[in-house]
Amino acid sequence: MLKNKLVIVLPLLLAGCTMSNSQLKRAYANHYYQDPAYVAAYKQKTETMSVNQLADYGAEFDKQKMRGQKRMQLDKFIYIENIHSEDNKVIYNYSLTDAWNALSASDRLEKQTNMQKDLTYRTCSLKTVQLAQKKGLEEVHNYYTAYPDKIAFTLRSNLQMCRQAGFTD
């Protein structure tokens, strides 16, 4: 599922080079559309949870997508290693492959910038994530060159970032 999301999002990112910001937001909103009944059920299920309980729930929900695998390859550059919660955060730990390390510094920086934009647009487009963010939930995505010892960079998503990117409540 996570791998499929990356494959589906890549064309949106590439198209983003020629799309306006509002067109790109619309494309993400359409791609990540969630049925109102699903959103309502999520809201009902989570409305009595504290933000820390919500983080636990989110981490377990996303961890199930790994189908019991200890690690899962997402693309030629990234493996997801672990998903867990810590306070109000869902933390995703990834390892970067040798293919990532073989990229030039400028190519890595460009990919990292695109990854942050994708994370922001994707999470800010999901109605269930918006509900969770309003309670204070944050996502932290750590990318390691040597998992679990050496973090190369961290990407984040939270309500403030969504607002700064022009997504409204």
Beta-carbon contacts of 39 under 8 Å, excluding residues fewer than 6 positions away, are 127, 128, 131
pLDDT score of 2 more than 60: no
pLDDT value of residue 7: 46
pLDDT tens, residue by residue, 37-64: 999 999 999 999 999 999 999 999 999 9
Overall number of domains in the chain:
1
In this structure, is residue 70 part of a structural domain? yes
**Across residues 108-137, what is the average pLDDT?**
96
Which residue segment(s) compose the domain that 104 sits in?
2-164
pLDDT score of 30 more than 80: yes
pLDDT value of residue 168: 74
Structure tokens at 89: 């955060």
pLDDT score of 156 more than 90: yes
In this structure, is residue 20 part of a structural domain? yes
In this structure, is residue 10 part of a structural domain? yes
In this structure, is residue 169 part of a structural domain? no
Structural contact between residues 155 and 117, judged by C-beta atoms closer than 8 angstroms: no
pLDDT tens, residue by residue, 66-115: 999 999 999 999 999 999 999 999 999 999 999 999 999 999 999 999 99
pLDDT score of 17 more than 60: no
Average pLDDT score over the chain: 91
pLDDT value of residue 20: 86
- pLDDT higher at 3 or 79: 79
User: pTM of the predicted model, to two decimals?
Assistant: 0.86
Q: Which run of H or of E encompasses 82?
A: strand 78-86
Structural contact between residues 133 and 90, judged by C-beta atoms closer than 8 angstroms: no
CATH number of the structural domain spanning residue 34? 3.30.300.250
Distance CA 123, CA 32 (A): 9
Count CB-CB contacts under 10 A for residue 151: 14
